[in-house]
Structure 1
Amino acid sequence: MKRHALAAVSALAIAVATPALAQQDPNASVAGAPGATQLTTPARQQSPADSAAPVPGAAAPLDSQVAADPAAGSNEIIVTGLRASLSSAATIKRQAPQIVDSIVAEDIGKLPDNTVSDALQRVTGVQIIRGGGEATAVLVRGLPNAATLLNGREAFTGAARGIALQDIPAELIAGVDVYKTATPDIVEGGVVGVIDVRLRRPFDFNGLQIAGGGRAVYSDQSKKWSGLANALVSDRWQTGLGEFGALAGFSFNRRIYRDDTAFDFISNCVTGPTGACLTTPPFGNSAGQGIGIPDTVGGLYTVGQRQRLAFNGSLQWKPADNLEFYADGLYTQYKNRIDTNFFVGLPKTGVVTNVTTYDAYPALANGVTETNAYTLSSMQAYQNKTTTIQGDVGAKWNPGEHDVITAEIVYNHSKLPNRNLIVDTSFNAPTASYNFDNNGTPLINIGGVDLTNPANFTLRTLFDNHSLETSRQWAYRADVTHSFDGGLLSNFKFGVRYTDRRAESQATVSTPIGITNPVLLSSVDGLATLSPGDLVQGRAGIDRFALSDADYLLSHADQIRGIFSQPAGDRPFDPNLAFFDSEKTYAFYGQAGYRFDIGGIAVDGVAGVRVVNTVEDLEGNGVSSRENYLNALPSATLRAKLTGKLQFRLAYAKTLTRPNFSDLNPLVGYASNGVTGGTGTAYTGSGGNPGLGPIKADNYDASLEWYLTPTTSLTAAGFYKTIKGYIQVYSAIEPYQGQTALVSRPRGVDGTLKGLELAYQQFFDFLPGPLSGLGAQLNGTYIIGRNDDPINGGKQRLVNVSKYSYNAVAIYEKYGVSARLAWNWRSSFAAAYNSGGLQAGSVVARPTGQLDLSVNYAITPFATITFDATNLTDRVYHDEFKGLNSATGVYSTTPRDTRTYDRTFEFGARFKF
């Protein structure tokens, strides 16, 4: 695949110099004010077609690529479809004062991908983490610390700092802007950038718009059908009181998915009565060392039923040409029923008859055989829900030709009630053999017992947990802009912002509850069920097995509690896991836009400072803390227009990200490791760190951008960041109740992040006939991220940062067909550190790629049929324990996880009139 991608780059680099049929107007305005400016939309927001308008006299592109605007006259060309989307995105990037990459919906209800998170993976420098049938995390230049905005306003989910982007339906979105450099008017909070999701408004359209659509989705691993539907109605009209506009949007998405995982857990030696490692066979090697054997080995089927519901509305009123009022609202609801079907082998609990080791690592086992093997199955039933509301009212006033005054009030509220019940069941297998490394995946063979018969399984352990997070925020802001007709200053802008946020979180600690009088799984009517089959496509040797039914657990919780001699009702929250945080911020910014010429080269930019005071009041179980810190965040940008098509940028900014509220909790929740596998310690624990401060970064950026035509560009960017107090979670051994516990805490570390980004896109209009509909997008990123190791000293790779990543997208758009074949790839990355055990302590993911396809056909100007497919290559994820063990200093590479995911096939239709 790499060789093919390089060949494509070579061919397309030759094509980039070929003249295209349309030239971009360098004075074209951005398709809508960038959300970060927090301004309302104009009376008629410019369409993507307008931003791509050619100079008079240019020849028209071919066929369905363009359409004449009858209202504008025959000399104006309007680019439509995916070309318009790419043209509008290029215009935003070209004209914004920041370094920004954008995605623009080519039509109502159609981003280039089906979710915001999935669409962002195509952006240069953006990587994603997948799970649960979607992109679960978005990483900008390798890090998750990007601020998330809705129409330029801060947005969040629960007690987190950012919003879950996958909760925002793609059908309601006009575009997404990824700001990689900051200016003072952008809300603070993103060390690596800002992601601004722009929703539609009624003044975006000329008049009445009615649109909608739906899709049916088949997932091959879960073997289930799902579906989604959306609708939007918008109109604007003139009255005696001025012009009014109203918009209402709706989206419903139900998705059934399945993720499979086979795993080796951390390795520890078998200990004797004194606690020392046994060194005699089969538990010791020829060198007299105790052999590290995985505490557990097994697999899990994660079957989810996810449902998302969203409504958004927008009202706009212009009583006069220089005055506008608006109100927006967004409601999203997320429900997820997750059934995790666990199979857990315990290779050290039976009568061990043989242990084999790796040739290169004689102190680590690669296989175990045993008799009378104690083994577990476990059903983990989760019922998760999120409700998020954002509402705002605001005004924009132009008191004079050069002045703009805006003001806005925003309210956010988010609530996350979650619960889960887990029941472990056990059996003793006459024989069991475990191969911990069968081509990177564990292979398990259980003999002498029927795994599908619930009469062979005994109820053993209950975990009964629930949690509640709530968060609300009021935000107030006002901005004033004054522009100048000529001279050094192009504009001056200043503003103020005040926020008041309250975040609360309570939860139960995950404590195992043993059964007093064990009963068979088959003895409780309705409790038994069977897992799915063919774990990780048969690689792990595990098929179907008996365990508790998730629906029964959640609907008969009190009956299950009675079996385990527990009282009815939910367990009380653990005070050590509760926090109540109040946060107030006071911000002021001032910035000036400037312009001048040097030797005929036009130079412009923005310079200024944002000053933010943060006041935190944190309360926990009998403890409290107060933080008050003031930060000045200067920034400056410079753009030199070297030619009409080539421009160079420089940017500097100081940024900060505040710690998550949960990171500041001073208390620790502990749980016994129990019989389901340990870490070499009696307890595990997790807690916060009240000493954490904000993450601060000094950011230096440069870019060179070459825009040949509205849809042809070649850009390069470089960046360097010094980061202070970057927050990552580390585990370390701590004493607890006279024994040891492996406790995970967030810690602030210093580091650097540097890299290069290259991007190229073009439609090959110069090719003859049908071939003129071909186009391509290529982008690649090179990143080096290092931070101090707070546990072992020295340096280590920043978590989740891949050194290399790229996208290669083939496009075809002609004769009503719009198609994209997209390959996304990233190199290996560090997933976690300090896992414990005798094997390597770092978890490193192998390189991974995914191929997706999207095809649309416009059967009429008002109706389009669609087909989408994801994960066409049926990718398999692997990660490994890799590197040095912190205690022994021995280097090793041994398998950890193998994961497989659904391939999806979607059939749908959209309409608009």
Structure 2
Amino acid sequence: MNQSTFKKSTLYAAMLVAMSGGAYAQQESSGEDAQNIEVIEVQGIRSALTKSAAIKRDSDGIVDAITAEDIGKLPDTNLAESLQRISGVSIDRANNEGNKVTVRGFGPDFNLVTLNGRQMPNSSALQSAGISRSFNFREIAAESVSGVNVYKTGRANVSSGGIGATIDIQSARPFDYDEFTAFASAKAIYDTSVESGDDITPEISGMISSTFLDGTLGLLLSASHSERDSHTDVVGTDGWVRNRSADNVDKSAIDTSKNPEQAIWTPWTARVEHFDTERERQNAQAVLQFQPFDGLVATVDYTMSRLKEVSQTNRMAFWFDSPMGSADVNGTLIDPRDPDDELNFWAWEYYEEKENDSIGVNIEWQATDSLSFGLDLHDSTSHSNPDGQTAETLANLKNPPGSVALIGADFDGEIPAIIVDDSSLPGGGYAKQNIVSDLYQKRGYEMENNIKQYHLSGSWENLGTDSALARINFGVVRTEYEVDTYLSEVFSFVDVPLDNLDLDFIELGDTADQFPGTENLFPLIPQYNVHQFIDIVAAEGKFVEPSIRTNGISEDTTALYVSVDVDTEFNEMPVKMNAGVRYESTDVTAYSIQNGILAMNYRHVQELRPVFDDVPSEQALSGDYTRILPNLDVSMTVTDELVTRFSYSRTLARAGISAMFPATVVNARPGGPFNASQGNPNLLPITSDNFDVSVEYYLDDGSYASVGYFKKYVENFIGAGTENRAINDVNGEPLRDPSVDPRPGCPDASEIPNSACLSQASDPVISWEVATPDNIQNRVVDGWEFNVQYMFADSGFGAVANYTLVDSDEAFDPYNFEQTIALTGLSDSGNLIGFYEGDNFQIRFAYNWRDEFLLSLGNEPTFTEAYGQLDMSASYDITEALTITFDGLNLTDETARRHGRFEEQLLSAEQYGPRYNLGISYKF
């Protein structure tokens, strides 16, 4: 969606204000201010917005927030989708559901997520998902959250690790409520996309809280269970590669003023696939609070989540081995053709099971009238595929090599037009007698992330009246962060009989029919089970033992902090200040355990595989660094309505986990490319000096308008420094290429390597392009945030609108092939929300839009195109306790599209469909 389309959609959404509903709350508060503000029971949209405006006005720092409208009622069905309503916060979606957030242009790895102030672990069972420090919001039910604070600038007493923001999820405590409180809710989730599974699935949640012994003892229990089945249509490619098959491409149309090297990009594949996903999620929390005497509160809590997600995929595709055609002005081969090739028929399964557990103890002691202390301890673990289950299983079938006269695709539209001439095969390429086996692959990926954190804090409050000094805060934090990963992988080309394989085909039907040109895709999609194929491979005795690789990292950080709060006046205008400094020292140790490489094996015309010995060896590297992180927050009340703010802080984001593993990993194909990578545990953290100024104008009844400007000077961005060099085998000799002048009988895909196909002393030495991450660049990022929140007197109508502009001093240059750093997630975004709230009825429409952004930068970039989504929610109070709710997500059936360097380099075009929830809740 372009800028003009967004404006049109904004006008359209504005027309819905009179009949729409929103549950969005925004606030700015320092940690100390939030503790000193009277707790208001929030029930309904207007109450939540009014509270947020009051907290925003009274705060010192820059903190936006979302507050639950009522017990168990956050504004959206997904926590990430609630967060995107905050200015400057955008989300990534997976399977049409928010999962990770970007703040002020900084992607998920640049933001820290905490639970009740505690740093939370994360793990991933899928190697393709990578190893991220960023918590995935799909793992926690929105019903279990009472509020979320987004700290956009650093504070001495707030955990470090977020340059974009530190996001603190808050859960309920029994002392938050008066005596007995409980609620229960049940929803029916109707997903219009479902093709395999249940159209309607359940979601139930509940909480019970009570206090005993004259309010000195409190117990809270909460739990939720959710099931969701869904379907996704995907059209795309498996990537674009630069300067492959260059001799087969007509380059005459290339604009040499932009592309003087006449670089060309060719696609690996063209594909259409169906994703059918089943997901179950459970959340639970138990909290015990005890107040033996006034001034001392002890809290013990246990939080858990369980997630299981299985996706079955069937894909119709073909692989361009040596494509030919004409490049466009950018250098993209938009009309690839490949004669004498074959079709590919894929089956895939993704399996992910996650267990998250956190146990914590918190003690708050008011030692004297002016002096208080806090002690917080927690031990939290995230464990993916804890039993070592295979995370990815895939298989491919094909026509006999060279049996299809022509394959091709035209990439001049939103999705490709597929061209297949299979007339050379009697019965065509889809006939079972013309299909043979090709390959299989299994990846088992187990990961465990454990965080132990110990936080001792204190605060001295000045009870005198003659000094501007209001409070001194201090503390020490110890964080022990550990990650261990276990990867088992097997990949093999096989020739097995398919007589017993249940192979079928279904017509394309309405697959991706929201995109123009679906009539030009493949006519059929294969249907078979990947595990049945693997069973056939095993029965034929051709299953290969997997290679094993283990990596881990240990990160120990000690932090000391102190800050002061000042209340004073300037020209009779009240001024509040918070000044602080945080000192951190971090020690890093990383290890890798893997077998050594004996030789390279020429197994297949598309495969050059390392052969490992059976002696695992460990490699360990270490690093350390210290950082000083100051902050200053100043707010001045100019008039009764006008508040101004200034904030400065230094924040940091630590290097990505996988970038620090010391193992050397090789990836080669006959003829190249020959790529390798090695981690660097001595990477420095990325640091940012942040400046914020804002002006806020407040009206009555929670209405306000604000504008803010921010600028970030970011140092030590991590990029991939590369060098071309040899890599030695276990004997200290350089690895060589046996595919250059292959010996008789090679390639050979036998399970026992053919010695003739192994690299020998007479073969040429391979020059590997080895990528090693390093701190190599600085950046400047700035932007504007605009907010308007308005209540239309006592009419029940209201609206919220915000828009964020983000820019950087260096944009991604598609013709700069040496660029190894680019800021992922940088994009403008906006929201328009309108609502009506009566005595018993409320309804909201919320439109969220995000401009195109760079999702990732590997060998080739991935861009996510602009996306806008319209959601709605409504509720009706049958009684004071009984409420029915209705939610609609993606009402206009929006689609998502990703591309490579240029728009015509399609990577994926995805279609999900709308989703609806009908629920009932009861509050005791």
TM-score by length of 1: 0.83
Q: After TM superposition, give the deviation of residue 826 of structure 1 in Å.
A: 1.4
2:870 equivalent in structure 1: 851
Q: 1:312 to 1:501 in 2, by over 3 A?
A: same
Q: 1:88 to 1:254 in 2, by over 3 A?
A: same
2:568 corresponds to 1:600: no
The correspondence of residues 335-734 of structure 1 with structure 2, limited to 5 A, is 335-348=308-321, 356-357=325-326, 360=329, 364-369=332-337, 372-417=340-385, 419=390, 420-427=392-399, 430-448=404-422, 454-485=432-463, 486=465, 487-509=467-489, 512-515=491-494, 517-520=495-498, 523-526=499-502, 534-537=510-513, 538=518, 541-550=521-530, 552=532, 560-563=537-540, 565-566=542-543, 571-574=546-549, 578-621=550-593, 622-673=618-669, 681-683=672-674, 685=676, 687-727=678-718
1:903 equivalent in structure 2: 914
Q: After TM superposition, give the deviation of residue 869 of structure 1 in Å.
A: 1.1
Match of 1:754 among 782, 795, 809: 782
Name the CA distance, whole Å, in 2 between partners of 1:450 and 1:226: 40
SS in 2 for 1:256: strand
Moved more, 171-180 or 742-751: 742-751
2:300 equivalent in structure 1: 327
**Residue deviations 1:242-279 (CA, integer Å, cap 9, x gap):** 611110000111111222222243156675xxxxx435
2:840 corresponds to 1:864: no
1:101 equivalent in structure 2: 64
Moved more, 456-465 or 382-391: 456-465
2:762 equivalent in structure 1: none
- Asked whether the equivalents of residues 257 and 305 of structure 1 are also in contact (C-alpha less than 8 Å), the reply is yes
2:757 equivalent in structure 1: none
The one-letter amino acid of 2:906's match is P
Q: After TM superposition, give the deviation of residue 369 of structure 1 in Å.
A: 4.8
Name the CA distance, whole Å, in 1 between partners of 2:276 and 2:769: 30
SS in 1 for 2:49: helix
Q: 1:260 to 1:712 in 2, by over 3 A?
A: same
Name the CA distance, whole Å, in 2 between partners of 1:244 and 1:400: 22
The one-letter amino acid of 2:290's match is W
Question: Which consecutive residues of structure 2, in runs of 5 or more, have no partner in the other structure?
Answer: 18-24, 124-130, 255-260, 594-617, 728-734, 736-764
Name the CA distance, whole Å, in 1 between partners of 2:112 and 2:353: 23
Moved more, 489-498 or 689-698: 689-698
**Residue deviations 1:26-71 (CA, integer Å, cap 9, x gap):** xxxx9999795699x89x972245xxxxxxxxxxxxxxxxxxxxxx
SS in 2 for 1:441: coil
Q: 1:671 to 1:10 in 2, by over 3 A?
A: closer
1:800 equivalent in structure 2: 825
- Asked whether the equivalents of residues 391 and 412 of structure 1 are also in contact (C-alpha less than 8 Å), the reply is yes
Q: After TM superposition, give the deviation of residue 863 of structure 1 in Å.
A: 1.3
The one-letter amino acid of 1:488's match is A
Name the CA distance, whole Å, in 2 between partners of 1:783 and 1:759: 15
Q: 1:561 to 1:142 in 2, by over 3 A?
A: farther
Q: After TM superposition, give the deviation of residue 742 of structure 1 in Å.
A: 6.8
Q: After TM superposition, give the deviation of residue 773 of structure 1 in Å.
A: 2.0
Name the CA distance, whole Å, in 1 between partners of 2:328 and 2:500: 48
Q: 1:6 to 1:864 in 2, by over 3 A?
A: closer
User: What is the number of residues matched between the two proteins?
Assistant: 815
The one-letter amino acid of 1:703's match is S
2:233 equivalent in structure 1: 260
2:136 equivalent in structure 1: 164
Give the RMSD, CA atoms, in angstroms: 3.4
- Asked whether the equivalents of residues 270 and 348 of structure 1 are also in contact (C-alpha less than 8 Å), the reply is no
Q: 1:572 to 1:430 in 2, by over 3 A?
A: closer
Name the CA distance, whole Å, in 2 between partners of 1:902 and 1:294: 28
SS in 2 for 1:86: helix
2:800 equivalent in structure 1: 777
Name the CA distance, whole Å, in 1 between partners of 2:381 and 2:373: 27
2:88 equivalent in structure 1: 125
Q: After TM superposition, give the deviation of residue 552 of structure 1 in Å.
A: 4.2
Match of 2:217 among 216, 241, 244: 244
Name the CA distance, whole Å, in 1 between partners of 2:669 and 2:806: 38
- Asked whether the equivalents of residues 750 and 787 of structure 1 are also in contact (C-alpha less than 8 Å), the reply is no
Moved more, 202-211 or 257-266: 257-266
Q: Name the structure, 1 or 2, with higher relative contact order (CA <8 Å, separation 6+).
A: 2
Q: After TM superposition, give the deviation of residue 596 of structure 1 in Å.
A: 0.9
**Residue deviations 1:587-629 (CA, integer Å, cap 9, x gap):** 1111000011111100011101111111112222332222222
Name the CA distance, whole Å, in 2 between partners of 1:833 and 1:346: 23
Name the CA distance, whole Å, in 2 between partners of 1:465 and 1:97: 50
1:912 equivalent in structure 2: 923
- Asked whether the equivalents of residues 613 and 630 of structure 1 are also in contact (C-alpha less than 8 Å), the reply is yes
Match of 1:278 among 247, 255, 278: 247
TM-score by length of 2: 0.82
**Residue deviations 1:152-185 (CA, integer Å, cap 9, x gap):** 1111213743322221111111001111012111
The one-letter amino acid of 1:129's match is D
Q: After TM superposition, give the deviation of residue 842 of structure 1 in Å.
A: 4.2
- Asked whether the equivalents of residues 534 and 542 of structure 1 are also in contact (C-alpha less than 8 Å), the reply is no
2:753 equivalent in structure 1: none
1:882 equivalent in structure 2: 901
- Asked whether the equivalents of residues 406 and 420 of structure 2 are also in contact (C-alpha less than 8 Å), the reply is yes
Name the CA distance, whole Å, in 2 between partners of 1:845 and 1:374: 31
Name the CA distance, whole Å, in 1 between partners of 2:44 and 2:525: 50
**Residue deviations 1:506-564 (CA, integer Å, cap 9, x gap):** 2135x53011x3322xx2355767697543223661354225314646xxx56544446
2:852 corresponds to 1:828: yes
Q: After TM superposition, give the deviation of residue 96 of structure 1 in Å.
A: 3.0
1:146 equivalent in structure 2: 111
Question: Which consecutive residues of structure 1, in runs of 5 or more, have no partner in the other structure?
Answer: 14-29, 50-79, 272-276, 675-679, 767-771, 836-840, 884-891
SS in 2 for 1:91: helix
Name the CA distance, whole Å, in 2 between partners of 1:441 and 1:342: 16
Name the CA distance, whole Å, in 1 between partners of 2:665 and 2:717: 23
The one-letter amino acid of 1:378's match is W
- Asked whether the equivalents of residues 403 and 483 of structure 1 are also in contact (C-alpha less than 8 Å), the reply is yes
Name the CA distance, whole Å, in 1 between partners of 2:448 and 2:858: 32
**Residue deviations 1:810-866 (CA, integer Å, cap 9, x gap):** 11111422111111111122234464xxxxx54433321111111111111111111
2:103 corresponds to 1:135: no
SS in 2 for 1:90: helix
SS in 2 for 1:188: coil
- Asked whether the equivalents of residues 26 and 86 of structure 2 are also in contact (C-alpha less than 8 Å), the reply is no
Name the CA distance, whole Å, in 2 between partners of 1:262 and 1:3: 29
2:598 equivalent in structure 1: none
Q: 1:303 to 1:488 in 2, by over 3 A?
A: same
Q: After TM superposition, give the deviation of residue 786 of structure 1 in Å.
A: 4.2
Name the CA distance, whole Å, in 1 between partners of 2:528 and 2:830: 43
Moved more, 867-876 or 746-755: 746-755
**Residue deviations 1:457-508 (CA, integer Å, cap 9, x gap):** 3221111110111122221111111111331101011111112232211213
Q: After TM superposition, give the deviation of residue 690 of structure 1 in Å.
A: 2.9
Name the CA distance, whole Å, in 1 between partners of 2:39 and 2:530: 51
